[in-house]
Each structure stands twice: as structure tokens, then as C-alpha cells.
Structure 1
Amino acid sequence: IKGIHLSMKSGMLAAEAAFEAMVSGDPSASTLKAYKDRLDASWVRTEMEPAKNMHHNFRDGFVGGMVRTGLQYILGPGSAIEPFSDDYAHMKKIADYAASPRPVREVQTDGTYLLDKLTDVFHSGTKHEEAQPAHLKIADTEICATTCKEQYGNPCTKFCPAQVYNMVMNEESGREEMQVDFSNCVHCKTCDIRDPYQIITWVPPEGGDGPEYGIL
């Protein structure tokens, strides 16, 4: 399967670096840096280098992606055609869509081939002890109820594959506020990466809880 050999080799190198740090009693960043040095010197880096930046090339569509990819091969495999920017920085605001509206195609689930999010969560076997601190931290939920709702329409409620984030009406305040159902989480970390305000942080849950990867 594509990439399995790369993950195995990188895991072996990580284990070696971690073991040496434990033996020496020095788990500092300078000691653990040995992992990156070994990875860069291994065949993993050599094999992956030609495909580096490929996904970034196609971020604006097929035509632009083909042009960037052609330039990348001319300049050398793995070359950066232009400066990188964070993924969330490319997220469009509601106002951008209002300027050039496009029809939204609603996905119709059939329970057999196309499943709704909660059914997918069930099949993932994910589980979390409910009586523990949430492992999904939102620095300021006021942003969710105001700025993010107005500018982006709360994208986390849409891009989360496990329906963790839901805007629920608070009868006391008379407005919709963020509710985090962390027990649904399948640990994809999309929210941590794609949140336009970077106020969501994923941390490991207690007890190693999460999805049953063996049945995914």
C-alpha cells in the first residue's frame, strides 16, 4: 500500500532516536533532533523529495497546478515555485462567495454507499471517557458566536468529519453558541489545521481514547 514502507522506516528511526534519548537521560530538543537528521539522510527523504510541494501546486485548480508542476520539473524535483502560506489563509469568507455566488450541491446519503457523519463515527469505533477534560480546546468561544459566524459561517461545523462542532441555540443568551461533542472525535486534526482563526487546539485525550484504527 502506498506510503506504508515510508511510515515504517520513519517510525523505526523515531524509535532509535527516542531510545537513545532515554538511555542518555537527555530528552531535550537538541538530542531528539537526531530523528530529523537521520530521516533527512535516509532513503525516505530521497524517495519523497521529487513529489514535495505537489499538492500545494494544485491549490488553485487544475490549470494553475499543471503550470506550477511543469515549472517545478524544470527547476528540479521538489522546488518551491512560490512562497508557502498556511492552508487556512486560503479559506474564503462569506462575502467572497456573495460576490460570485455558486450553487451548493447537497450530498444525499443513502445509508449504503454514502453515509451521514454520525453513522461514519459509529463505524469508526471511536470512544472517549466522557468524564474527562475535552481534548479539543477553543481559546475563545465568543469568536465562534460572533466574528467567525459572520465572516465564515462557522466552517468547523462543516469540515469536521465527525460532527464534533455544533452551533446550538442558548436560550439564556438568545443566540447560537458553540457546542463541542469531543466524544465523536476521530483525531483527524482538521480543525486544528483549518480553523481560520487558529483558536482550536487538539491535544491527546486521556487514556489513549479515540477511534479503533484496526476497523477503519
Structure 2
Amino acid sequence: MKSVPRMSFPGGLLVGCSPGLLNVPKIKGTHTAMKSGMIAADTIFNKLIEDNHQPVTQGLHIPEYDTDIRNSWIWKELYSVRNIRPSCHGPLGVYGGMIYTGIFYWIFRGLEPWTLKHKGADYSQLKPAKDCTPIEYPKPDGKISFDLLSSVALSGTNHADDQPPHLTLLDDSIPVKRNLAQFDGPEQRFCPAGVYEYVPLESGNGMRLQINAQNCVHCKTCDIKDPSQNINWVVPEGGGGPAYNGM
């Protein structure tokens, strides 16, 4: 018996893109995200009917949503692709994972009786800078490739200047002491919006981490990938963030 996904909790449901309902080989998740919202609406409506239209109380838990997701085509579709990403992260490597995908997904449609696991958390997978070869990327040409800040401008992201900061550090000394010293400051590379950058101290002796929170596009990569788990990402004020008006 396959386990029921836990997407409900007291006071809320995980809906849309937040549960990570991405079909990896298709690089597509809009259809599953929208369907989860439809299922959530049906589940809440049925709960209200069962409870005689009583107001929903704060902290109400609706575990029926988990079962409804499990019984929908979302579960069937995503269960069939569950092993694709972890197969590339294990001893098989990327090319072995591609062969695995070809055999067990495209031929057997993901019906293998086992489920592979990821090797640890993302933040623990970074290698020290001394064990890596720097990659020299070509400069953006403005036609096919573009500089980072121009792309951030296209997102239309904006945050009120007087709102409480939604990106803070648990320990201000860790970025320079550990992240920069051991990993060459990965914050300035894994952030797609240039939020984090290491700049020289005014004294000229050493570096400090500067946080350009105005640029944040709410991807939460920093919260997941920071090797020291030192970045505290909290929900910003409503109405802030990327707008994507051109989409």
C-alpha cells in the first residue's frame, strides 16, 4: 500500500507550486498545480457541507485533502516519475540516470516496485572551493544571453522600502568565516537575482556579505541551498515581489 502524501496541516493546505508538483521529464507542473487547487476547493466545499455550513475554525485540519490528492491523476502521474531525479544523484550519475530513465520510465512507465531516495539535503552537497575548478562563463551578448540584473528588471520585482526585512542572517559572521572561506561565497552564484554579493569593507581589510533584498524574486533557493543554513527567509509583505507583467 503506497503511503498517503502529507499536504495538509492544521490551518492550511499545500496547494499549487508550493508542494513541488513538477513532472521532471516533462519539465511541466502548471497542470498539476492547478489541479491541486481544484481538489483543495472541492475538499473544503465538501467539508463545509458535512459540517452544516459552520464557519471554518482557525487551525482546522482537513486530512481528506491528502486522500483526495492520492486518489487523483496527480498522484498517478508523479508517482511514475518519482525515481528520475534521485537516479541521477546516486552512484549511477547523470548518464546512468538517463539510462535508468529510458528503461524504467519510457519502457516500463515508472512501475518499478522500489523508490529511490536523494542522498542528503541539498545544502550538504556543496563541495569546498579547493576541490573544484572555476568555470569561466562568456559574457552575455544581449541577444541570446543576458546579464542577471537586466533579467531581474524584467521580473518587475518590488518591495516597499519601509517593510521589515524578509532576508536576515542568524549569525552575521558565518558568511565570511565559513561560506566565503570554504565555499568561495556560493550565495553570489546560486541566487538568480543578485540578492547576495560580497563587497569589500570600508576599511579595505576583508569582505562582508551585502543583501540586496529589493531584488528578491521569492524563489527561496537561498533558504534551501545555503551550506550553513544561516539565511532566515520569511514571507515578505503582501503585494511585494515579482510581477511578471509581460507573461
Task: Report the TM-score, using the length of structure 1 for normalisation.
Answer: 0.83
- The DSSP-based 3-state class of the residue aligned with 2:198 is strand
Select the residue among 74, 82, 95 that pairs with 2:130: 95
Is residue 188 of structure 1 aligned with residue 219 of structure 2?
A: yes
Structure 2 counterpart of 1:13:
39
Is residue 204 of structure 1 aligned with residue 235 of structure 2?
A: yes
Whether the 8 Å contact between 2:159 and 2:241 is mirrored in structure 1 is: yes
- The DSSP-based 3-state class of the residue aligned with 1:166 is strand
Letter in 2 for 1:85: G
User: Which is bigger in relative contact order (C-alpha 8 A, separation at least 6)?
Assistant: 1
Letter in 2 for 1:54: I
Note closer, same or farther for the CA distance 1:103–1:201 as it changes in structure 2 (3 Å cut). closer
Note closer, same or farther for the CA distance 1:69–1:85 as it changes in structure 2 (3 Å cut). farther
Structure 1 counterpart of 2:82:
52
Displacement of 1:82: 4.7
Note closer, same or farther for the CA distance 1:78–1:109 as it changes in structure 2 (3 Å cut). farther
Structure 2 counterpart of 1:158:
189
Structure 1 counterpart of 2:162:
131
Structure 2 counterpart of 1:4:
30
Structure 2 counterpart of 1:25:
57
Measure, in 1, the Cα distance between the counterparts of 2:103 and 2:119. 16
Structure 1 counterpart of 2:179:
148
Structure 2 counterpart of 1:34:
64
Displacement of 1:83: 5.5
Is residue 118 of structure 1 aligned with residue 153 of structure 2?
A: no
Measure, in 2, the Cα distance between the counterparts of 1:46 and 1:172. 59
- The DSSP-based 3-state class of the residue aligned with 1:207 is coil
Displacement of 1:113: 2.0
Q: Percent identity?
A: 37
Note closer, same or farther for the CA distance 1:132–1:189 as it changes in structure 2 (3 Å cut). same
Displacement of 1:71: 8.0
Displacement of 1:105: 2.5
Number of residue pairs matched by the alignment: 210
Structure with the higher helix share, 1 or 2: 1
Q: Deviations over 1:103-156 (max 9, x none)?
A: 522231112221111101111111111111111122112100111111111101
Note closer, same or farther for the CA distance 1:59–1:166 as it changes in structure 2 (3 Å cut). same
Structure 2 unaligned blocks of 5 or more: 1-25, 49-53
Whether the 8 Å contact between 1:52 and 1:77 is mirrored in structure 2 is: no
